[in-house]
Homo-oligomer: A and B are copies of this chain.
Amino acid sequence: LTASCFGERLEHYLPLTGPDKAALARLEEHQRLYRRGMVIRRENERAPEFLIIRSGWSASYVLLQDGSRQILRLHLTGDLVGTSSAAFAHATESLMALTDVRVCPFDRTALRHLFEAHPRIAALIFVIAQAERASLTDRLASLGRTSAKSRIAALLIDTLIRLRLRNPELGDAFPFPLTQEEIGDATGLTSVHVNRMMRALVEDGLIARSNSHLTIVDERRLSEIANYVNRHAAIDPSWVPPAS
Q: Which residues of A contact B (CB under 8 A)?
A: 62, 64-65, 68-70, 72, 83-84, 86-90, 92-93, 108-109, 111-112, 115-116, 119-120, 122-123, 125-134, 136-141, 143-146, 187-188, 227, 231, 234-241
Contact = CB atoms under 8 A, between A and B. Distances in A.
13 contacts: A68-B145, A70-B141, A72-B140, A87-B130, A87-B235, A90-B234, A112-B240, A112-B241, A115-B123, A122-B126, A126-B126, A129-B130, A133-B136
Contacts of A231: 88, 92
Given A109-B239, A143-B143, 6 more contacts: A64-B145, A83-B130, A87-B134, A115-B119, A115-B120, A115-B241
B234 A88 contact: yes
A134 B68 CA distance: 19
Nearest to A117: B119
A134 B132 CA distance: 12
A150 to B, nearest CB: 9
A95 to B, nearest CB: 12
Contact of A70 (B64, B92, B126, B144): B144
A137 B227 contact: no
Nearest to A240: B112
A64 B151 CA distance: 13
A143 to B, nearest CB: 4
A116 B119 contact: yes
Contact of A86 (B108, B115, B126, B143): B126
B89 A143 contact: no
A230 B220 CA distance: 41
Given A115-B123, A126-B129, A88 B235 contact: yes
Contacts of A140: 70, 72, 136, 139-140, 143
Contact of A188 (B86, B88, B145, B236): B145
Given A119-B115, A239-B108, A241-B115, A84 B130 contact: yes
Contacts of A129: 126, 129-130, 133
Given A126-B126, A145-B68, A227-B65, A84 B235 contact: no
A140 to B, nearest CB: 6
